Chain A
Amino acid sequence: MTALSQPFFQHALLAGTLIAAACGMVGYFLVLRAQVFTADALSHVAFTGAMAALAIGYDLRLGLFAATIAIALLFGALGRRARPDDVVIGSVFSWVLGLGAFFVTLYTTSRSTADGTAGVSVLFGSVFGMSAGHAATAALLAGGVCVLMLIAARPLLFATVDEAVAAARGVPVRLLGYGFLAVAGASAAEATQAVGSLLLLGLLAAPAGAAIRLTDRPYRALALSVGLAVTEVWTGLFTSYAVPKMPPSFAIMATATAVYAATFLIRRPVPRTS
């Protein structure tokens, strides 16, 4: 296939694959811990962070990671036992989005060299526009997220399902709660580069949601979530390459949503006796 011989496509594929794997893993725990709303808020925080970095004149990615991780930890600190509460998220989230609007204005009015499309690429991603260096950094960071998630998966699952017993067994429940939020923040920053801050929630929630509908076994669901996320990103990238009118973010999200919707068609035999 000619797509694979194109450097820009290779970069997108490299970064996209690892970002998808990271999002699949983090997403599974976000869904299980009922923290999808946290991820939604983090996606908006990602936008503000990127715009703030651009307005001040730093690398956009620095703003992304600093903002998402810091706000993720703030959510944890304001909630109970490192579990953010919806009212706190709602208030912080709209304030941060307002701040984003402020930075957009600051950026577009004050910097003469301003790149007018930067805001759009943060919102909708620009995976085909990644340089070799950007792609390698993104892939490396996403790989790091995957490794951390694999190390923490079992105690995190215990702490998620059965917090009191996990704590009594010596699982560092609070540390895991905060650590997971920080990793979720990093994943949001990563995913922003692939599909944009407006769409990254789909990459975090849809594959994991589909995996949980398909199996009741936790580690199988985790693996399935990763597999679905990676397949969906690949499908989106190749589709977008084949149909240039289709932006990659749209193609990826369309695939992810279609797969999630398809899981509702599968009727699982659920023996229910009370």
Chain B
Amino acid sequence: MIEAMEPAVRAVGPRAVRVPASRQAAEPVLELCDAAVRVGGRTLWSGVNLAVGAGEFTAVLGPNGVGKSTLVKALLGAMPLAAGEVRVLGDRPGRAGHRIGYLPQRRSFDASMRIRGIDVVRMGLDGDRWGVPLPIPGPRRRAARERVDEVVELVGASAYAHRPVGECSGGEQQRLLIAQALVRRPQLLLLDEPLDSLDLSHQGGIAALIGRICHQEGVAVVMVAHDVNPILHHLDRVVYLARGGSASGAPQEVITSETLTGLYGTPVEVLRASDGRLVVVGRPESAGDGHGDGGGHVG
């Protein structure tokens, strides 16, 4: 049902489809060993063990304020670990910036922002370079333009990429921002609540897009999510964060009444609806509570 909401998958040229074989054999894209983070003397989470390989889709779940965004910041190297070890793309975090695509927590462009979507995508490619791009035709300029067009088509944003980004809807902006994160062919995509404040049909569409990028393009995805249902079918792994602890593994192993009850110390019941959706009754999650988590911003 969710897949049906994704617009017909566009044909992507052979150049766009990368062969992840060379990477799959190598070490994991991302590794956390017994990691913990402390903010202001308070341990947000601890004991996080996670290994993400190329083309794997991992969700980071947990209640508001538990430090889900902080986990992403730790992977970016913007937040030091209090304990344990983290390796990203075979290096310390913060060292492989150009091989990581990052989508921060929900930001929307002001309606007055008169810059085309395609320019926003282009910033992901070379926005950090000094100087101005000179309007001289050449192979590099053509290559840059082709790459931007390619990635815009991959996310299905061609129809509105030339419109001012402020005039695009929330879902359209989110697709453009995903394109921006993908434009440099990252090996790892870090997404912080990309489905937050989108309506249900857009949530399904974006979730399917991310799943497709992950499994077809071989990009490892770590996604912070508030509600697991829109992405459940695409997931390879979940990490549940709790005050002072964590649980990780395959979704069907972790999202169970026993595991979550043990983790949160209060009775949690996981029910499976007839359409496959999960209903978590108890503390860790609520689908109706759509507020961004203030605690995730700590530090």
Binding site for B on A (CB under 8 A): 32, 150-155, 157-158, 161-162, 164-166, 168-171, 212-213, 216-219, 221-222, 270-274
Contacts and interface: CB of A to CB of B under 8 A. Distances in A.
Given A153-B132, A157-B123, A165 B115 contact: no
Interface string B169-212: 10000000000110000000000000000000000000000000
A169 B163 contact: no
Contacts of A152: 130
B131 A161 contact: no
A162 B117 CA distance: 12
B128 A166 contact: yes
Given A161-B115, A168-B102, A169-B98, A154 B130 contact: yes
B131 A153 contact: yes
Nearest to A222: B132
B119 interface: yes
Given A168-B102, A270-B167, A217 B116 contact: yes
B131 A154 contact: yes
A274 B115 contact: no
The binding surface of chain A is classed by DSSP as helix
Contacts of A270: 167
A216 B132 contact: no
Nearest to B134: A219
Given A154-B127, A162-B107, 13 more contacts: A150-B131, A151-B131, A154-B131, A154-B132, A155-B129, A158-B127, A161-B113, A162-B123, A168-B102, A169-B97, A216-B163, A218-B119, A219-B133
Interface in B98-157: 98, 100, 102-104, 107, 109, 113-116, 119-120, 123-124, 126-133, 135
A34 B109 CA distance: 13
Contact of B167 (A151, A218, A272): A272
A161, A165, A221, most chain B CB atoms within 10 A: A165
B127 A169 contact: yes
15 contacts: A32-B115, A150-B131, A155-B129, A158-B127, A161-B115, A162-B107, A162-B127, A166-B123, A168-B76, A168-B97, A168-B100, A170-B97, A216-B115, A271-B163, A272-B167
Contacts of A164: 102, 104, 107
Nearest to A171: B128
A32 B167 CA distance: 16
A165 B104 contact: yes
Given A168-B102, A169-B98, A270-B167, A162 B128 contact: no
